[in-house]
Chain A
């Protein structure tokens, strides 16, 4: 090297720098492409549900090393590892509720198998899992919304009467029936997907969606008056004005029990009048 003339040394250095720049640019562009591609998989596709205890999506993709231990230790073979053609990060575990939902094992073997904590080892009570959130997304086809007593999603729910309740609402169509509307309560829903799997329709009316997609959020400054009243033990707007009902003699209306008093004479069915409003003042 020291026998070389200075200009050839300079040329060698120039070549070295150019080669470095070439490699750095090439690798940099490759990295940029890979980074953008990886960003696309940030959002979980709605049909793919992560196993219980999975960290929120971007964190999960930093924690999961795609080893498939959770897949192996799932006793019901529910989990799969995403393949390159799938919409979620390659190699990460998921299940599709409509195909096969989570059985909610009490000992949660998938979490125990996870070597990295991508499935959070803090979660020891499967009923506290938040794999997703069920949402009755289509009221037009849900049989219970049509006035029937399907109730299947409610019956199969492992957290029945907490995660899904049947809310009774008057059936205005028939005027004389009650509709039992399946209602999901996010506090208790684990996102296991049993409801979606068992929905009797061709396409499920109730679906488990990623939590962020299914759940709304009130404005931080919102206060629910009735909650505040309960907390305070008294009305926060004083004095509370009691509503005066204009009712016929001997009738009384109370919130909750409704109308009471003398035998309610059913108003003669007036054609055209909404039947649903019987007993009320028209």
Chain B
């Protein structure tokens, strides 16, 4: 991408603004919609969903629980009640199919904060940044599990910005906004994609859950790529794109198989050549040069 050309401008020209922001808009609708469902109870007295992302009960029947917090609780030597375990099983099952980090892109409220920081970074061309390993999140994940085991408490929940923001918005934020602001400023000035892409153990846990997930982004029409680099610029995990987009020579398939891909679909949006699309994991395994048309179309909630 040249300095004077705006990222995604080609896509807007080719597909129109709406076409170039389709998945982004759907994602925002999903994120805000889920938050709204949780807020409908306390604000309007319409109780569709009770609880928060740690555990919720929808329409008094569907339990959903966060497997990561439940795992910490079990390591702290407590066995949860049946309903929480069923909820975790449903969540694990869903994300094992839909892509683990679809949670990050489509549900997590912190994503809107860090996306905003990333947008500002691009807008003001903030290039500075401490670079450190994207593996750090797995170290932190391991650390929180060890901490739960050693302390007998869910120590990570004292600090977890993800649950703090979501719980705060529903039950009262208090000074939790300072932690969210810290995440925002960290992403804006200290490290690009610093929180979600490098540190967050919640996302790391969902990565592991969705390691072999069915729903994947693929670069089915990678032959049409014109090397504009927009997808690399917009992607919060750019390292996942390269093997799928440029791996034809090495015999790699066009499906993005990395568990760190958040299935956010921004690469699909910003590509003017419509190289990317949602599809299934085992689609296009063999075809390096001749894509078999479009990937299986999917709904707005992968």
Contacts and interface: CB of A to CB of B under 8 A. Distances in A.
Interface residues of B, number: 58
Interface in B214-231: none
B51 A84 contact: no
Contacts of B57: 69, 115
Interface residues of A, number: 46
B78 A118 contact: yes
B139 A117 contact: no
Interface of B: 41, 47, 50-52, 54-57, 63, 65-66, 69-70, 73, 76-81, 83-84, 87, 132-133, 135-136, 139-140, 143-144, 146-148, 150-159, 163-164, 167-168, 170-176, 178-179
Nearest to A38: B155
B154 A58 contact: no
A66 interface: yes
Contacts of B178: 84
Given A35-B155, A81-B171, A89-B153, 9 more contacts: A38-B151, A62-B148, A65-B54, A67-B51, A68-B52, A84-B179, A89-B158, A115-B63, A116-B80
Residue among A27, A37, A71, A73 facing the most chain B CB atoms (10 A cut-off): A27
A59 to B, nearest CB: 7
B94 to A, nearest CB: 18
Most buried by B among A23, A39, A62, A121: A62
A42 B79 CA distance: 20
A35 B170 CA distance: 27
Interface in A75-118: 80-81, 83-86, 89-91, 114-118
Interface of A: 19, 22-24, 26-28, 30-31, 34-35, 37-39, 41-42, 55, 58-59, 61-69, 71-73, 80-81, 83-86, 89-91, 114-118, 121
A263 B230 CA distance: 109
Nearest to A71: B171
Contacts of A116: 55, 70, 73, 78, 80-81, 84
B156 to A, nearest CB: 7
A3 B146 CA distance: 40
A232 B70 CA distance: 52
A23 B132 contact: yes
Contacts of B63: 115
A34 B156 contact: yes
Contact of B146 (A31, A83, A84): A31
Contacts of B156: 34
A38 B158 contact: yes
Given A64-B154, A68-B171, A19 B133 contact: yes
Q: Across chains A and B, which 10 residue pairs bring their CB atoms closest together, nearest first?
A: A83-B174, A62-B76, A67-B55, A38-B155, A61-B153, A115-B84, A63-B78, A31-B143, A116-B80, A27-B139
